[in-house]
Amino acid sequence: MNIEDASFYSEEEVIKNEKDLVVERVPTGIPKLDELLQGGLPKRSITLVSGPPGSGKTMLCFHFVDEGIKRGERCLYITVDQWVNSILVHSHAAGFNFLPAIDNGLFKLMHVDLEKVSAYNEISDEILTGGYQRIVVDSLSPFADTPLVLGGSVEFEKAPIIDKLSAYPSETRPVARFHVRRLFDFLHKVPTTAMVTSELFDRTHSLSRDSVSEFLADGVILLDVDPTMDRRKLTIWKMRGTKHTLKPHDVLITEQGLVFKNELR
Ligand SMILES: Nc1ncnc2c1ncn2[C@@H]1O[C@H](COP(=O)(O)OP(=O)(O)OP(=O)(O)O)[C@@H](O)[C@H]1O
Ligand SMILES: [Mg+2]
């Protein structure tokens, strides 16, 4: 199924059984974070991980997929900003080795070039047909910066037959909400739990660069750096269906990834 199929836009199926109303939990791979989240992220939810560059967003996503792999779950990591090799090297330095899971087919690391018209179909095909229990999109920001003409949108058919963003007229402005919503729609269509990242510089006006994903996401985890104090913070800002503290927690990035202070593995 892809975005051109009419069935993609079908209505959601409404829950009929009471047992399906209970929120199941998906462990993040960071025990202290799971404790703060009543056991983990809600199953089939989308969590936005937001923070400035270098704050540990990618690191948190590594824990999430690593935990999935350990549990024998199929995991997909869509990388837009970083190349696959860079992700592999970067994750290795933080104590993760994803090569065995890639070899045995449990983990797929997918680099997407959003300047290609086919990018959205590649992404939707992978999400909709890959049978993944965990999906990471790192990061969401370039999606929101893409002009509407790209990727099978309404205007796409009228667009010139050409595969590069630079060829499109400048008046085809980015339409953040459209892109973010469509990506979230892909994720909602399948029984997956997702983590998406967004760069954030100033949280006085929004909690993501596109300023819509924090509303569309089921959860928001904020990461922050305080260079003057040489300190990092993690805050659970929102998590639907979950009782949680809003208190910022001190975290560290080490050779074992992201750890809560005083909770070194
Ligand atoms: N082994 C390590 N020991 C200590 N700190 C590390 C280690 N590896 C990475 N770091 C820290 O982690 C930061 C990178 O974290 P990460 O890539 O998760 O951030 P990010 O929020 O995804 O950044 P970006 O927005 O640039 O993608 C580095 O800038 C460095 O400060
Ligand atoms: Mg990153």
Domain contains 76: yes
Structural domain count, the chain: 1
Ligand 1 midpoint to CA 55 (Å) = 6
CATH number at residue 168: 3.40.50.300
Q: 229 CB less than 6 Å from ligand 1?
A: no
What is the radius of gyration, based on Cα positions, of the chain?
A: 18
Domain contains 19: no
Query: Residue holding tokens 């007229």?
Result: 169
Domain contains 201: yes
Q: What is the pLDDT of residues 191-241, one digit of tens each?
A: 999 999 999 887 777 888 888 888 899 999 999 999 998 999 999 999 999
Range of the domain at 162: 44-225
Domain contains 177: yes
Mean pLDDT of 36-65: 97
Looking at per-residue pLDDT, the higher value among 6 and 255 belongs to: 255
User: Does position 171 have pLDDT exceeding 60, yes or no?
Assistant: no
Looking at per-residue pLDDT, the higher value among 22 and 38 belongs to: 38
**pLDDT the model gives residue 20:** 83
**pLDDT the model gives residue 115:** 83
**pLDDT the model gives residue 7:** 55
Domain contains 255: no
- Indicate the average pLDDT of the chain: 86
Domain contains 6: no
Domain contains 167: yes
pTM over 0.95: no
Q: What is the pLDDT of residues 89-145, one digit of tens each?
A: 999 999 999 999 999 999 999 999 988 878 888 999 999 999 999 999 999 988 877
* Residue 142 · residue 80 · CB < 8 Å: yes
Position 11, amino acid: E
Ligand 1 midpoint to CA 87 (Å) = 11
Mutate to test the pocket of ligand 1, among 48, 58, 221 (most ligand atoms within 8 A of CB): 58
Domain contains 244: no
